[in-house]
């Protein structure tokens, strides 16, 4: 682990601390039952704000080799993600006139969940995914995948091999990158001169008002406003030409960047959101001043809510062995004394234990078989999808609890 002394984007040494979640385990470091005697690494989780460029970021950097070489998150287990990927690729194929001579490339392409839709439409595809176990699944799906971490060096090598993208995706990966400037410079190098970079990032403008503190964990080094991300990309000759606010992951930005010189004028949505962020004060530290006391109050309320249920003899489970769930449970210090198990669709996670709190992860059918009285939606960003999938549980009288921004029954 290393700690930063300057901003990850602009290099300013002036960084203001705005929230500490204490020392937590790595959010996706799920444990095997036989490994409980081994030491479990914990790292500080402190959030900082850069007044110079408005980037919100964590102080510590855990090496990417530790975090991402063997990964437990597979995008294809989310129906919501698949629907979004199919709709977006359909739109871009039509809008950009992509065909068999075009190349669609995705950085952090996971299991090929998105590129498969380009391939079905006859567009050439290439994925870049450092997690070896996930990349193997993409290859089995017919998606050629480079199993390396992306940066300027890899981009230069691929360009020399003749690869330049007509459309380049980087979804939910920018937050994972320690060398932001090298990464974005690599994106520009990989992109054809009239190409389009399509970037998705969780939106800071939702995190703060909706108290989505559980989206803070060591994999997520940065938390982006449009102001911060557009300044970063402009530094490398990529201009924000459009932005859309979408509901994924509790609220995200779907951004389009074009190379400087061929970029059309920014859309009205870009100008409007930049103005809104300035009006809200997102470019000043005062906007973040109440975050820490609100998170502390939430913890007291969450613990009291669950302990009241337990005091009434209720049995409690959770749904979604997601990284955000690990942050939430560890910060709240809620474990097996309160929650019996966590249900999750991914066979990769089933049979493991949540990091830190050691709650066992079980298949979703145990909600019906064991019928807990209440289930905490740790993966609250997919609440509609989960509730629809678990209709048998709710028909039998089960209830879901949404933990943030205020803990309450759904």
Question: What single string gives the DSSP state of each residue in 166-214?
Answer: EEEEEES-GGG-S-HHHHHHHHHHHEEEEEEEEEEEEBHHHHTTTT-GG
Q: Which of 174, 278, 301, 290 is nearest to 233 (CA)?
A: 174
To the nearest 10°, report the CA torsion of 264, 127, 347, 86: 40
Q: How far apart are CA 63 and CA 11, in angstroms?
A: 20
Residue pair 233/196 in contact by the 8 Å Cβ criterion:
no
To the nearest 10°, report the CA torsion of 255, 260, 264, 267: 40
- Region of 281 (left: φ > 0; alpha: ψ -120 to 50; beta: rest) is left
Residue pair 357/379 in contact by the 8 Å Cβ criterion:
no
Check if CATH label 3.90.1150.10 holds for domain 292-409.
no
- DSSP code of 294? H
Q: What pLDDT was estimated at residue 73?
A: 67
pLDDT by residue, tens only, the chain of 410 residues:
899 999 999 999 999 999 999 999 999 999 988 878 888 999 999 999 999 999 999 999 998 878 876 666 678 878 989 999 999 999 999 999 999 999 999 999 999 999 999 999 999 999 999 999 999 999 999 999 999 999 999 999 999 999 999 999 999 999 999 999 999 999 999 999 999 999 999 999 999 999 999 999 999 999 999 999 999 999 999 999 999 999 988 899 999 999 999 999 999 999 999 999 999 999 999 999 999 999 999 999 999 999 999 999 999 999 999 999 999 999 999 999 999 999 999 998 999 999 999 999 999 999 999 999 999 999 999 999 999 999 999 999 999 999 999 999 99
Residue pair 343/230 in contact by the 8 Å Cβ criterion:
no
Q: What pLDDT was estimated at residue 36?
A: 81
Architecture of domain 75-288: 3-Layer(aba) Sandwich (3.40)
Q: What pLDDT was estimated at residue 72?
A: 62
Q: How far apart are CA 18 and CA 36, in angstroms?
A: 33
Q: What pLDDT was estimated at residue 77?
A: 77
For residue 143, the surrounding DSSP H or E stretch is none
* Token pair recorded at residue 388: 């629809």
- Each domain of the chain, given as residue ranges in start order, spans 75-288, 292-409
* pTM, to two decimals: 0.93
* Token pair recorded at residue 263: 């970029």
**Would you say the CATH fold of 292-409 matches that of 75-288?**
yes
Q: What pLDDT was estimated at residue 130?
A: 92
């Amino acid at each position: 682990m290393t700690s930063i002394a300057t901003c990850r984007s602009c290099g300013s040494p002036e960084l203001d601390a705005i929230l500490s979640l204490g020392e937590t385990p790595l959010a996706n470091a799920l444990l095997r039952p036989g490994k409980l005697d081994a030491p479990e690494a914990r790292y500080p989780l402190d959030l900082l704000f850069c007044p110079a460029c408005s980037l919100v970021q964590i102080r510590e950097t855990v090496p990417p080799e530790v975090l991402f070489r063997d990964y437990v998150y597979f995008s294809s287990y989310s129906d919501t993600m698949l629907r979004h990927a199919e709709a977006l690729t359909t739109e871009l194929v039509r809008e950009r006139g992509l065909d068999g001579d075009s190349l669609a490339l995705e950085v952090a392409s996971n299991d090929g969940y998105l590129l498969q839709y380009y391939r079905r439409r006859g567009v050439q595809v290439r994925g870049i995914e450092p997690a070896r176990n996930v990349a193997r699944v993409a290859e089995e799906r017919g998606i050629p995948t480079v199993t390396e971490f992306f940066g300027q060096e890899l981009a230069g090598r691929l360009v020399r091999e003749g690869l330049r993208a007509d459309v380049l995706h980087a979804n939910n990966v920018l937050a994972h990158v320690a060398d932001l400037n090298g990464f974005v410079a690599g994106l520009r190098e990989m992109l054809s001169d009239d190409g389009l970079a399509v970037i998705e990032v969780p939106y800071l403008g939702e995190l703060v008002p909706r108290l989505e503190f559980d989206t803070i964990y060591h994999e997520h080094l940065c938390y982006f406003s449009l102001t911060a991300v557009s300044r970063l990309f402009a530094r490398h000759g990529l201009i924000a030409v459009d932005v859309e606010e979408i509901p994924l992951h509790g609220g995200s930005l779907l951004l389009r960047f074009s190379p400087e010189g061929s970029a059309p004028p920014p859309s009205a949505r870009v100008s409007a959101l930049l103005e809104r962020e300035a009006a809200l004060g997102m470019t000043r530290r005062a906007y973040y001043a109440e975050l820490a006391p609100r998170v502390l109050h939430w913890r007291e309320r969450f613990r009291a809510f669950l302990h009241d249920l337990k005091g009434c003899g209720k049995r409690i489970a959770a749904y979604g062995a997601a990284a955000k769930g690990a942050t939430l449970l560890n910060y709240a210090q809620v474990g097996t004394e309160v929650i019996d198990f966590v249900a999750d669709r991914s066979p990769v996670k089933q049979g493991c234990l949540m990091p830190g709190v050691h709650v066992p992860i079980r298949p979703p059918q145990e909600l019906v078989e064991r019928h807990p009285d209440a289930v905490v939606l740790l993966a609250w960003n997919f609440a509609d999808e989960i509730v629809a999938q678990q209709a048998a549980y709710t028909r039998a009288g089960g209830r879901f609890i949404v933990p943030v921004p205020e803990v309450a029954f759904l």
